[in-house]
Chain A
Amino acid sequence: MSEIRIQRQDFDPGAEISALNAAGEVGAIASFIGLVRSDGGMDAMTLDHYPGFAEREISAHVAEARSRWPLLGVRVVHRVGRLTPGERIVFVGVASSHRQAAFAAAEFLMDYLKTRAPFWKLEERASGATWVEARESDDDSVRRWR
C-alpha cells in the first residue's frame, strides 16, 4: 500500500504512522518529519507545485523504492502553500518486515524529495521574496543511490 498526498493543511504524524501498521506483517516502521527552518532570517516560504504532475513524479520514486526494498507500506505527505519556520512540511513513513529496509527506503525517498521533487520555493526575507534556485550540491545526496 502506498499513499502520496500533496496538501495545504498540516498532517498528524501519529495518524500517518498508525496507518502504516495496518499491513499485518510489519516489523519496522521508519518515519521522517521535515520542518521549515528559518535559515538565517527567513520569515516564510511558499511552495508552488503542478497538481497531477507532482503526484506522478513522486509516485515513480515511491515505486522505485518498492522495487529496491521489500516494503509493506509507504506514505508520503508533502505540504504546499505558505509555511513559516517550525511548521511541518513533509512526512515520509515506510513499513517493512525489518528495520534495514525501512531506514534505507525512508532515507532514499527523503533524498529524492529534498532535491528532485517537483516543487518551487519562494522565500520571504526582510530584503524581499526570492525564488530558490536549483542547487547542484543537493544532487550529491541523490547520486549515492545510483
Chain B
Amino acid sequence: MPVERRRFIKLSALSAGAFTIPFIVSCNNKAFNPAMAQPLFLSGIFDAKTMKTTGEAYAKQYPAEDSRNKLIDLLSENSGISQATDAATVHSYYAKKTTADFEALKTVIVNGWVLAVTEARQCALFSLTQK
C-alpha cells in the first residue's frame, strides 16, 4: 500500500507515549521494553499506519509468530535487554541486529517491503500493541 504523505514516527514521540505501548500487561502477556517495538530505521520512513499494517502482514505471513509473547521471546533472545534498559540502548541494539540480519540475508518481503527479520518482528510487535 503506497503511502502518499508519510507522517514519520518520531522516536522521541514514541518514547513520550504518543503511541501507547503498555508496560502493564495481563497475566498471560509478558512485559517488555516498549523500545523493542520501535524499529529505528523504519520509524524514519514509516507512519504509524504503515508500521501497523506491515506488522500485521508479517504476522499473517508467519502465523507461528503471530503472538505477542512469541515475538517478545524472539526479539529478546540473547539481547540482555530488560524493561529497565534505556531506549537509546535498545534502539542501538536492534539497529545493529537489523544490519546483521541484512548482512546474513535474514530478510523477508512484507507488503512488498524488503525488511530485516528483526525489524519486521518489531513492526509485528508494534501492531499487536495497537490493538
Asked if A pairs with B, the answer is no
